[in-house]
Amino acid sequence: MGAVDVGMDSSEPLVVIGGPEEIGQKVFWRFTGLVKIRSTREPLRVPAILQEVAHEVESGRYAAGFVTYEAAGGFDPALRTLPPGPLPVAWFGIFDQVETLGQLPHSQNGGIEVLSVQPALSAEEYRERWQKIHLYLAEGHTYQTNLTFPLYVRLAGSPERWFSRLYGAQPTSFAALIKTEEFVVVSLSPELFFRLEGGRIVCRPMKGTAPRGRWWQEDESQRARLAESPKDRAENAMIVDMVRNDLAKIAKAGTVRVTAAFSVERYPTVWQMTSTVEAITDVHVVEIFKALFPAASVTGAPKVRTMEILCELEVAPRGVYTGAIGWLLPGGRCQFSVAIRTLWWHKSIREAVYSVGSGVVWDSTPEGEYEECLRKASVLTTRPQIFELFTTMLWDGNRLFLLEKHLQRLERSAQYFGFPFSVDSAKMLLQELVQPWRGRRRRVRLFVDRSGQLRADVSPIPALSRGKTIPVRLAAAPIDPNNVLLYHKTTARHMYQQLCTCPDAVDVILWNPRGEVTETTLANLVVEINGKRLTPPIDCGLLPGVFRQYLLETGQVEEQVVTVEELRRADRLYGVNALRGWIPLRLLPPEPDREGSWGTSIT
């Protein structure tokens, strides 16, 4: 397999799907040399189509495509769904070649835009369906029901660029792009339906979700909360039991086992709970689909009765959403994802379709479930930003001040954003960089990009009236404390540049919508009131500065919320950072035209 770059603007049919997971990296395959297409709009024909596909693969060719949720009745007549929509219920391309992509393009924002998003269900309409499910739960018809609904989306921009944009916002191992003259499917699924290789079948159901935190400690708290959540563990365990039972239909006796339970995986906007179930089998792909499809995580329990309830309550066919997308290779290897987080177009309809859903159980709330559904659609409007993480250090002529704390913060931010980062490599780079500057004070900056590439620079410490008080003003507008970039040192500085617009001040003091001060654009803030030196807590919306952390650990300052009014009555103000230490600040008097804007906002 040769390494290539994907031709993102080709008018030819295009199939790009995540290959087998590799340690430390994602692998993507482009299927080329189209020989034929096998597809159907009849659910009862799907097993025969899969059999034909498997036969082509046995002859040495490669196959890639999808099976929609509405294909379920073709594998088992007891599984009810709504009638199929405009997409084929099964579509597979048969190819002569598979090429490994040397680079999967991402983060291209030019020429694409979300024009409108319209959920098929309002909050009240969702509540009505949730209430019906609750009655079914009370009567014992179902134990968990995964209710879904589509969002109809009007988009500007080519499908290829949307694939690029969405992958940039949410890179996953099972990303897929299937483009034909009739339809386009873009999937960012993180969930493995099954992988078969050498007689070993692996399933990894995903059930249990929590939002990400804004900085490392808050993020870890969210992870721990999900890991210990009784509700999420119960939902996950229920789905795992279903997968075990389904696998038992095709597995060799005694080989079904749970190899990882209640694992929590990090994704750009959410934490997800997964478990891994494995077995040994000698059956072919058609029998696997008959036993497992659709995935237990997208229906509920028990599967047959719950799908009847879903058929009653859902407002539109799911299409490829919650179906399966994947590939088959010679030698019996195949892999399919559960097609969640999937966007599709068809030439017969005006809008694109992006569906969302969640598992309704007895202790669910309609508000919580509806909010979770809409949160899952946020990837559509999340514009991926290209930035580097960095840290700024003081080389005092002999050592890098607080080096270990700098590297720890950088490592945690890299972990948060999914940037590869090697502390040892960083130390080697810095050691080589500073050697020529022994005996001279310098500013040293260390950067890491999304690929894990390190770079560093050394320069004179920029001039700042040393020992003198620095004039500052309050920013004219509040910061958004939900902006995660506030909590990490990045090269995305535009938000600070927009706020620092006072010609008579060197810097501005930032504040949040609650009227609490946070930091300056260049330093953390220390406010001295009645002999106490106070620094705002991180959750006010600020960078967890390295020198700030040192001052807290050594007892020189303490955390406390400080309001704008308390700031005005402070005895002394300081900016603090690891490069300059303590920087005396002087708050300039209010400007009426500027102060009115913040004064109105915070009262």
Residue 147 in contact with residue 130, Cβ under 8 Å?
Answer: yes
- Gap between the Cα atoms of 153 and 351, Å rounded: 5
The closest alpha carbon to 159, from 16, 31, 373, 321, belongs to: 16
Q: Is 21 a catalytic residue?
A: no
- Gap between the Cα atoms of 423 and 72, Å rounded: 49
The closest alpha carbon to 98, from 382, 401, 258, 326, belongs to: 326
- Gap between the Cα atoms of 478 and 455, Å rounded: 33
- Gap between the Cα atoms of 126 and 374, Å rounded: 12
Phi, psi for residue 553 in degrees, rounded to 5: -70, -30
Q: Which of 179, 207, 303, 376 is catalytic?
A: 207
User: Which residues, listed in sequence order, are joined to residue 324 by a DSSP beta bridge?
Assistant: 67, 338
Torsion of CA 425, 430, 436, 440, to 10 degrees: -170
Task: Respond yes or no on whether the N-terminal peptide bond of residue 294 is cis (omega within 30° of 0).
Answer: yes
- Gap between the Cα atoms of 234 and 230, Å rounded: 6
Any idea what DSSP says for residue 82?
A: P
- Gap between the Cα atoms of 340 and 317, Å rounded: 14
Collapsing DSSP states into helix, strand and coil, what is residue 187? strand
Strand ranges across the sheet with 454-459: 389-395, 442-448, 454-459
Count the helix, strand and coil residues of the chain and give each as a percent rounded to the nearest 5: 30, 35, 35
Q: Encoding tokens for residue 579? A: 């490069």
Torsion of CA 189, 194, 197, 199, to 10 degrees: 180
Q: Which of 191, 235, 369, 411 is catalytic?
A: 191
Q: Encoding tokens for residue 193? A: 């339906």
Collapsing DSSP states into helix, strand and coil, what is residue 152? strand
SS3 for 281-340, per residue? ECCCHHHHHHHHCCCHHHCEECHHHHHHHHHHHCCCCCCCCCCEEEEEECCCEEEEEECC
The closest alpha carbon to 110, from 453, 496, 386, 494, belongs to: 386
User: Could you give the count of Cα atoms lying within 13 Å of 559 in the half-sphere of its Cβ?
Assistant: 12
- Gap between the Cα atoms of 524 and 409, Å rounded: 15
Residue that is written with structure tokens 């040495």 in the block: 60
Q: Is 347 a catalytic residue?
A: no
The catalytic site residues sit at 191, 207
